[in-house]
Structures are given as C-alpha cells and as structure tokens.
Amino acid sequence: MLPDLRGDFPLLARTVRNGKPLTYLDSGATSQRPYAVLDAMESFEREHFGAVARGAHLLAEEATEAFEAARASVARLVNAASPDEVVWTENATAAINLVANGIGNASAGQGGSESARFRLGEGDSIVVTQAEHHANLIPWQQLAARTGATLRWIELDDDGRLRLDQLATVIDGTTKVVAFTHASNVTGVVTDVSAFVARAREVGALTVLDACQSVPHLPVDVQTLGVDFAAFSGHKMLGPTGVGALWGRKELLDVLPPSVFGGGAIQIVTLEKTTWHPAPTRFEAGTQPVTQAVGMGAAAEYLLGLGMADVAAHERRLAQILREGVSGVPGVRLIGPVGDPGADDVLGLASVVVDGVHPHDVGQVLDDQGIEVRVGHHCAQPLHQRFSVAGSTRASAHVYTTEDDAARFVEALASVREFFGVPA
C-alpha cells in the first residue's frame, strides 16, 4: 500500500470555503501535480529551454534531450517496445483524432498501397461501446460519416459492465476498427481487453484503446494487452494539461497517413509534394509542447517510483470505501456494479444519483464543505442515457487520496437530501 502522499502535492495544503481543508475528489477529470513534476518543468524552463530538433546549439541539444527522455519515460510507464512508439499530442482527444483522421486520409487515397489496410468505405463497420467518453465516440461517428462506414456499439448491462456476449455478433467480417475504453470514467469498471482484442483479431480489425482512466491508476502493459493503439493524457496522470500521448505499434504508425501538416514532420519538400519522416516525428508537426512533455515524463517517473501495483491496490481500497459507503446512504443510487463493492475490476471512483436533487446542487452542497467532485454527464451522455439519468455526481480518487477523504465524501453525501428538504 502507498504511504500518505499529500505532502508531495502543494495544492492539497490549501484551504477552501471559509477556511475548510480541501478534499479533492475530482481526479478523474484532472489530477493534481506533485513537486517532482512542477520542479522538472520549472528547471527545464529556467535552465534548458530551447527549440527541439531545430538547432545545433547547446540549448537546442539539451531541450531535445529532455524532450526525448520524457518520451522514454512515458514509454516505460506503458511498457512500449520502443520510445518511437509514443507520439506526443495535445491531449488524449487529439491522440484519438490522430488515428481516426489518419484512417480517414488513408480511405481518401493518401499513403498509397502501404496504407491500404486502414481504408474504410461503404459496407465496412466501426465498433465502439455504450461506455465511451465523447472523445472516443465522436471521432468515430465523424469517420463513419466521411467514409460511408456503419457505426455499431457494444451495450452495457445493468451493472455497467460491457456485454461481452455481444462481441461475436456486433464485431463481424465487416468490422475494420474496434475502439473501446479501458476503464469507464463513470462506472469505474475496467474492461476485459483480452476479449475485445481476441474478437477483433479474428476478423482482422484494428483496436484503439482509450487508456485515460487506466494508465494513471493501473499497471498498463500495451504489449501484453495486444491492442494496436492506445491514447492517454498528461493531466490525469499527475502531469500538466496541454499534453497527451498516442502509443501505437511502430509498423502501423509508420504507414498511417498524418493529418496535421507542417515543419518538423517532413523529410523532403518540393513545390509539388512532400515525404514524411517515420513515426513518431511524422505526427509531430510544428512547435511541440516541450515543457508539458517534460512534465508528463516526470509524472511517469513519479508513478513508476511508487509502483503501479501499489497504486492499484491503494485505489481498490478507496473504491471499496466509497462504494460501500454510498450503498448505505438512503436515497442515493450508485451507477455501476452494486453487488460487490470490493470488486477487482472497479477503479477508485463512485458516480451517484441523489433522489430528488440535481447533480449540480449536490456538488454545491459538497463544495460548501470543502469537498470537490465532478457533476454532470462527464462527457459520457450515452452511458447516462442507458441508466435513464441526465447526470451524476462523481467522486474520483488518486494516489494522494486518503481513506478519510473517501469517508468525508460519504458523510457529506448523506446530508444532501436533508439539506434540500427531500422527504426520506
């Protein structure tokens, strides 16, 4: 188990609303940053800041070295076969769009015969799930509209788990892409990736994994998982905003057509045509978020230092406290598995519906007590529609979350209906 790490995170020492101590339970949206990340970013900007891969002077060399060292750190965190399998992006949304738009460009004829395996058209299908964050749904909706492919989805059962029994019928010989979440940002359920990958391989489909909620909280080994692409973001894994990463198999990245064009990504440019560098450089046109990449690399090292198995164990304990506590509060409904609060396939979060009280009002009551949570549909409207609710209140943990934080949330939640005078 992890020690108390709150001292590593300077923001957590502040007070909020009328001097109350801060209980930060919105890590599923954005995590806080430790000194290790803040110091690495400041040191880079103070001492080594320069243009990456665009100069022969010392600062350019040092900046490039820091940029690539950060890439190597992120590669180690997910056990990539090589740092060249990690592409820097603006965020995870950009990473998923990079793949979707690259497939779209291949479908329009770019990339020649090398990119033929990515081509989509009428009669083909793309498969997503009912659990997806909008970032892993809308790009595929748009790609289907551009190419004439059909969009299909795997549904959720009443416990919020994906219906694996539908894999054999929804994913078929027409399927070219299967895009799915590794862990839901609403239910906290961790997907059985092996089942999706096995079925996709049977029909020759590519797999794209939204790993935003898994990489910060679980041991993630992309080689063992067997997916073709995985996207995740810096700001959910104790790093800065404005940076994310796409991991992809090198042999696929090298032939996927780019969708953002400009300097840095090219080999030869004439007035008539351009040739591209191999991955990852072919996808990193323009000036990169170098300081942010350095911060994401430092976050990866911080997590590696803690040990991801210990991180996962810490958060399983918090999940149990949150879910058991919520299940005992009258008039509060948990979205997701309810039968086993200590289930191993659920992350340290709890999304709830309070009978008779709008999620935004729930959030205000908690905020007045110094407890900061997420309210709304969490960019997952189809999932909420599946459970016939417009939104929910979500408490989500990270490495710095304590058992007292989780207990404080449950205690405050129990006071909400009384506060609004909702009959018991």
Question: What residues are labeled active site?
Answer: 379
Cα separation, 236 vs 1, in Å, equals: 21
DSSP element (H, E) containing 91: none
Helices (H), 254-380: 290-306, 308-327, 359-368
Structure tokens at 269: 């440019």
Structure token digits, residue 20: 């109350």
**Amino acid letter at 338?**
V
Residue with tokens 């997910």: 78
**Coil/strand/helix, residue 378:** coil
Reduced to 3 states (helix: H, G, I; strand: E, B; else coil), residue 150 is strand
**Amino acid present at 147:** T
CA nearest to 53, candidates 281, 334, 383:
281
Cα separation, 195 vs 220, whole angstroms? 16
Q: How far is CA 65 from the centre of its chain?
A: 26
Q: What is the DSSP letter of 189?
A: B
Cα 6 to Cα 40: distance, rounded to the nearest angstrom = 19
- Distance of alpha carbon 280 from alpha carbon 294, whole angstroms: 17
Residue 396: strand pairing partners: 26, 349
Q: How far is residue 86's CA from residue 280's CA, in Å, rounded to a whole number?
A: 7
How far apart are alpha carbons 366 and 382 in whole angstroms?
A: 26
